[in-house]
Amino acid sequence: MHSSRKTDRRRSRPAGMGGGHRVKSRTRRIVIGGGALAIAGAATVAVSLASAGQYSGSTAGADHAVFVQGNELDGNTIHVFARGDDGRLSPSGRYATGGRGGDQVDAPTDSLASQGSLVHDDASGTLLAVNAGSGTVTSFRVEGQELRDRRVVDSGGEFPSGLAVHDGIAYVMNAGGEGSVQGFRITSQGLKPLKGSYRSLGLKNEDIPRFDTSPGQVEFAPDGRSLMVTTKGNNTVEVFPMKRDGLPAVAEPVVNKSVGGVPFAISFDRTGKRMLVAEAEKSTVTTYAVRRDGKLKVLQQPLASGQETLCWLERAGDYFFGGNTGNSTVTGYRMDKRGKLALTNDVGVATPPSAKSQGVIDLAVTEDEKFVYVQNAVSGTVDGFRVESDGALTKVTTAEGLPAFDESGMEGIVAV
């Protein structure tokens, strides 16, 4: 794995606000699991931040929204889009999180190198965002397309990059230093630290980690009995069996060696009994059962798609969609009633790639599972797709003008 390191100057930047545009063309290489591939593109970064509570555009009569985390280094913001019944997006405003975005060392297209950096707690209507450059987490109360009652808390570690929520509890994944998870209660006054919840991941990163050695995702099992973390560099899926009070039942995670190389994203089938892990090294997906003792049982060996650098995976009904950042494609998978996973077509691509949709990273699925939204980091766009009955994706919208990847870039997306 690549070992060169950027300086830490980004972490000390002021959270000031400013305007202007800059264009920078460059090629970066992904070096992961021993393989390398080049990603080239012109990244246009537009910096124009709104103050907390300010928004523009009409929200009248609209209840659905897509939230995109800008992850701007000088002041992180949430970009809000109204979502029509046909899946189309229209800008609705921007809200400052009160913290700074971050950029992991040598990150090729995804500054936070994680899934789940922006999450929504359906029960409380709370949106949670990481501020990796500030070591904090921001919560908002969601009202349609408006974000209210901003609260900011310390993440409990260095470089927070992921979040998981379940039954009024939120866990933050801190990627820097030794790595850690820290629990919080979700309250009407924001996040409140959960005493006794902190657990180390035993990593050996700098405060700003390298993208290839940072953890990929923290996620609850649907029943809340387990909390999982993927570690890319250690090639493990680490499991914390959980108690009913929201605290880990063990002092250290149960460490499971990943079957596929470089585990990144986690998703569960509709029954909640099967866990799927996306693996970046060979763009594979492995299916597991999570035992009560934290051990994983392999249910299906790694399924390859023929694509490049699969890092993100989200479920829509019996379909799953994976983001391949290496060649900017989205792969479709289908799970049958017996739990067997297969590609939705022979080529492993659910929708034709677009020249204006480069640097595919994170994805979000609407609650009704009819639409999928995909972040394109290099292009600074979000594409919206309708999920067809055969698992194909039909593009219905493209939102433009988002922070394209340069020194950093957007990461984190939620559809409600």
Q: Of all helices (H) and strands (E), which one includes residue 147?
A: strand 146-154
4: number of Cβ within 10 Å: 8
Domain residue ranges of the chain, discontinuous segments joined by +: 19-50+64-415
188: number of Cβ within 10 Å: 9
Query: In the numeric block, which tokens belong to residue 382?
Result: 């979000």
Nearest one of 331, 289, 301 to 313, comparing CA atoms: 331
Residue 62, pLDDT score: 54
pLDDT in tens, the chain (416 residues): 333 323 333 333 333 333 333 333 333 444 455 443 333 333 322 222 333 333 333 333 358 999 999 999 999 999 999 999 999 999 999 999 999 999 999 988 999 999 999 999 999 999 999 999 999 999 999 999 999 999 999 999 999 999 999 999 999 999 999 999 999 999 999 999 999 999 999 999 999 999 999 999 999 999 999 999 999 999 999 999 999 999 999 999 999 999 999 999 999 999 999 999 999 999 999 999 999 999 999 999 999 999 999 999 999 999 999 999 999 999 999 999 999 999 999 999 999 888 889 999 999 999 999 999 999 999 999 999 999 999 999 999 999 999 999 888 999 999 99
Three-state DSSP class for residue 122: coil
Q: Of all helices (H) and strands (E), which one includes residue 83?
A: strand 77-83
CB-CB contact of 184 with 171 (8 Å): yes
By the 10 Å C-beta count (0-12 exposed, 13-18 middle, 19+ buried), 202 is classed as middle
Pairing of strands 89-96, 77-83: antiparallel
CA–CA distance, 360 with 312 (Å, rounded to integer): 9
The structure tokens 């189309």 sit at 88
CB-CB contact of 211 with 108 (8 Å): yes
CA–CA distance, 248 with 241 (Å, rounded to integer): 6
Residue 37 to residues 29, 153, 321, 325, Cα–Cα distance (Å): 5, 38, 22, 10
CB-CB contact of 411 with 69 (8 Å): yes
Q: Of all helices (H) and strands (E), which one includes residue 371?
A: strand 371-376
Phi-psi category of 380—alpha, beta or left, where left has phi over 0 and alpha has psi -120 to 50?
left
Query: In the numeric block, which tokens belong to residue 210?
Result: 């390298």
CA–CA distance, 118 with 377 (Å, rounded to integer): 15
CB-CB contact of 254 with 241 (8 Å): yes
CATH of domain 19-50+64-415: 2.130.10.10
Residue 302 to residues 70, 89, 280, 414, Cα–Cα distance (Å): 33, 35, 11, 27
CA–CA distance, 205 with 56 (Å, rounded to integer): 40
CB-CB contact of 318 with 335 (8 Å): yes
CB-CB contact of 258 with 237 (8 Å): yes
Alpha-carbon Rg for the chain in angstroms: 19
Phi-psi category of 283—alpha, beta or left, where left has phi over 0 and alpha has psi -120 to 50?
left
Q: Of all helices (H) and strands (E), which one includes residue 229?
A: strand 226-231
